[in-house]
C-alpha cells in the first residue's frame, strides 16, 4: 500500500508514505501510481513485471521514485502487465513486454521507462490494457495529433492496422489519422470517439462488443451503429458503453448478467439504451471481467450488471439488468469508481462511501463485505478523486496526499514468475 508495511492488508485507508503533492492517481491490478505537481511519478505495490519503473523486479512495500522526474501529464496502467505515460508530449512505457506492448522495438521487459519509438511529440493521451497473468493480451494505444497509433499484442486485430501481427513499435490505426478526440482500450478490443461524437471500435467481437451488428472480429475500425454525441467511453471484457448527448448511456455487447442495463440479459450486437438514464455525467467500468458498470446520473450513484459480492451496493447481491440505486446515494454524488468487486462514491463534501467485497480491506471500513455503502474511515471530507484496481481502492485528498485501502501484495499469491527470497520481498 506504499506505507512501508508488507505481508498483510489495510482495512482502513492508510497514508502513502512520501506523497504530499499528488495531482492524479491510477490504480492497476496489483500496483498504483501518482503524478506529482512537479511532473514526476511515484508508484507502489507489486512489481512483478516492473510496473513501478524503479529498476527493480519484485514486490515492494514503500513508495519509490521513478526516473520520470518531470514533464508527466497523464498515464495509464494495465492489470499486472505494463504502464505508459505522456512525458513532455512524448510517450514512455515500462513493465512486461511479452508482446511488444512497450513499443520500443523489443520484447524485453523494462524495469525503467523507455521511449516509445516514433512518439516523441504530439501525444495527448495513452491508454493500455491487458493482463499477462489472466490470459488477456496486452496492448497500448496513443492519441497523437488527433490520430491513433497502437502497438503490442494483436491476436484479435485490436491494434486496428488490418493485421493480426503483433507490433513492437506503433502503427497507425487504419482510417484514424486525424479527428479523434478520445481513445479507450479494453482487454481485447479498442474504441475511439471521432467527429460529431461518433464511435468506432476494432478487435475482438465475439459478443458484439464492436457494436456494428456483427460477431466478426475486425482488424480495422468499424462504425458503432447509431451513436453520435459521445463524450465518454467505458469498456470491459465483451461489453462497451458510451455517454451520449443529453446524458443518456448506450451499451452494446455481452449481457449475460445485465451489464448492458437495458432490462434484459440478451446480448446485443448494436447499442441499446440503458433504461431510464438522462443526465449521466460519468461512467466507470472496471477493466477486468467483472461485468458491471456504475455511473453518476443526475447526482445519484447507480450501478447495474453483476451483483455478486455486493458490487452494486443496493443490498441485494443479485444481478440487475437496469440501473439500480446505490442505497443512500441519491444526490450530491460527483464521481464513482469501480474495482473488480467493489465500488466507491465521492460526494460534494469530498466524503467517500464504498460497498462490495472486502477480502483485503479495500473498502477502507475496518470490517468485512458490505452490501450497502459505508464510510471509508478517515475519509469523510477532502477527497477529490478515487480509482479502483483489482483488490484495492485509492483516494486523492486535498493537499495532494493519497490514501489507499486494500491488499499489500505477497509472493504467496502465485502471480510472480520468479521465486522471492525473504530479503527480496522487503526494502531494507
> Would you place residue 252 in the very low, low, confident or very high pLDDT band (cuts 50, 70, 90)?
very high
- Output the pLDDT for position 192: 97
Note whether residue 44 is domain-resident.
no
Residue 85 belongs to domain spanning: 71-230
Q: What is the pLDDT of the chain when averaged over all its residues?
A: 80
Q: Of 144-153, 250-259, 314-323, 364-373, give the lowest mean pLDDT range.
A: 364-373
Cα separation of 314 and 303, whole Å? 9
Please determine, for residue 66, whether its predicted confidence score (pLDDT) is greater than 50.
Answer: no
pLDDT (average), residues 75-81: 65
Note whether residue 165 is domain-resident.
yes
Note whether residue 83 is domain-resident.
yes
13, 19, 96, 109: which is closest to 64 by C-alpha?
Answer: 19
Please determine, for residue 253, whether its predicted confidence score (pLDDT) is greater than 80.
Answer: yes
> Would you place residue 61 in the very low, low, confident or very high pLDDT band (cuts 50, 70, 90)?
very low
101-111: per-residue pLDDT in tens?
A: 999 999 998 87
Note whether residue 244 is domain-resident.
no
Write the CATH number for 75: 2.130.10.30
- Output the pLDDT for position 421: 27
Note whether residue 149 is domain-resident.
yes
Which of the residue ranges 11-25, 27-41, 245-259 has the most confident prediction, judged by mean pLDDT?
A: 245-259
> Would you place residue 355 in the very low, low, confident or very high pLDDT band (cuts 50, 70, 90)?
very high
Query: What radius of gyration do the chain's Cα atoms show?
Result: 20
DSSP H or E segment with residue 203 = strand 199-203
Cα separation of 245 and 34, whole Å? 32
- Give me the sign of the Cα torsion angle 401, 367, 297, 286: positive
The reported pTM is 0.79
Count: domains in the chain: 1
145 Cβ neighbours under 8 A, 6+ residues apart: 122, 178
Note whether residue 240 is domain-resident.
no
50, 166, 7: which is closest to 417 by C-alpha?
Answer: 50
Rounded to 5 degrees, what angle do the CA atoms 137, 64, 45 make?
A: 45
Note whether residue 49 is domain-resident.
no
- Output the pLDDT for position 19: 58
Note whether residue 76 is domain-resident.
yes
| Main-chain dihedrals φ then ψ at residue 246, nearest 5 degrees | 80, 0
Contact indicator for 343, 303 with CB cutoff of 8 Å: yes
% residues pLDDT > 70 (the chain): 71
127-143: per-residue pLDDT in tens?
A: 888 665 555 568 999 99
> Would you place residue 70 in the very low, low, confident or very high pLDDT band (cuts 50, 70, 90)?
low
Amino acid at each position: 500500500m506504499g506505507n512501508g508495511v508488507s505481508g498483510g492488508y489495510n482495512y482502513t485507508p492508510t497514508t502513502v508514505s512520501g506523497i504530499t503533492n499528488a495531482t492524479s492517481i491510477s490504480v492497476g491490478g496489483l500496483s498504483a501510481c501518482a503524478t506529482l505537481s512537479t511532473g514526476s511519478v511515484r508508484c507502489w505495490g507489486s512489481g512483478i513485471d516492473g510496473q513501478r519503473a524503479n529498476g527493480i523486479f519484485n514486490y515492494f512495500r514503500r513508495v519509490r521514485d521513478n526516473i520520470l522526474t518531470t514533464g508527466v501529464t497523464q498515464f495509464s496502467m494495465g492489470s499486472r502487465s505494463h504502464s505508459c505515460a505522456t512525458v513532455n508530449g512524448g510517450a514512455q512505457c515500462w513493465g512486461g513486454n511479452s508482446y511488444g506492448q512497450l513499443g520500443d522495438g523489443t520484447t524485453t521487459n523494462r524495469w525503467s521507462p523507455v521511449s516509445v519509438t516514433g512518439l516523441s511529440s504530439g501525444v495527448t493521451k495513452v491508454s493500455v490494457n491487458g493482463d499477462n497473468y489472466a490470459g488477456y493480451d496486452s496492448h497500448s494505444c496513443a492519441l497523437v495529433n488527433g490520430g491513433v497509433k497502437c502497438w503490442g499484442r494483436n491476436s484479435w486485430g485490436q491494434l486496428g492496422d488490418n493485421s493480426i501481427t503483433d507490433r513492437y513499435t506503433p502503427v497507425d490505426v487504419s482510417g484514424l489519422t486525424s479527428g479523434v478526440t478520445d481513445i479507450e482500450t479494453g482487454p481485447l478490443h479498442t474504441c475511439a470517439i471521432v467527429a460529431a461524437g461518433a464511435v468506432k471500435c476494432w478487435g475482438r467481437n465475439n459478443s458484439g462488443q464492436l457494436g456494428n451488428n456483427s460477431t466478426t472480429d475486425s482488424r480495422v475500425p468499424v462504425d458503432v451503429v447509431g451513436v453520435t454525441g459521445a463524450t465518454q467511453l467505458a469498456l470491459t471484457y465483451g461489453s462497451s458503453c458510451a455517454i451520449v448527448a443529453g446524458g443518456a448511456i448506450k451499451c452494446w455487447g455481452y449481457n449475460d448478467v445485465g451489464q448492458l442495463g437495458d432490462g434484459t440479459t440478451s446480448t446485443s450486437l448494436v447499442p441499446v439504451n440503458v433504461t431510464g438514464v438522462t443526465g449521466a455525467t460519468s461512467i466507470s467500468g472496471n477493466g477486468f471481467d467483472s461485468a458491471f458498470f456504475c455511473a453518476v446520473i443526475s447526482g445519484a450513484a447507480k450501478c447495474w450488471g453483476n451483483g455478486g459480492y455486493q458490487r452494486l451496493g443496493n443490498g441485494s447481491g443479485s444481478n440487475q439488468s437496469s440501473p439500480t440505486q446505490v442505497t443512500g446515494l441519491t444526490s450530491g454524488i460527483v464521481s464513482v469508481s469501480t474495482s473488480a468487486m467493489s465500488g466507491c462514491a465521492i460526494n460534494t463534501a469530498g466524503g467517500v462511501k464504498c460497498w462490495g467485497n472486502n477480502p483485503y480491506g479495500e473498502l477502507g471500513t475496518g470490517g468485512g463485505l458490505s452490501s450497502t455503502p459505508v464510510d471509508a474511515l478517515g475519509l469523510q471530507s477532502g477527497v477529490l478523486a478515487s480509482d479502483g484496481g483489482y483488490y484495492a481502492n485509492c483516494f486523492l485528498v486535498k493537499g495532494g496526499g493519497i490514501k489507499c485501502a486494500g491488499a499489500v501484495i505477497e509472493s504467496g499469491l502465485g502471480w510472480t514468475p520468479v521465486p522471492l527470497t525473504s530479503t527480496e520481498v522487503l526494502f531494507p
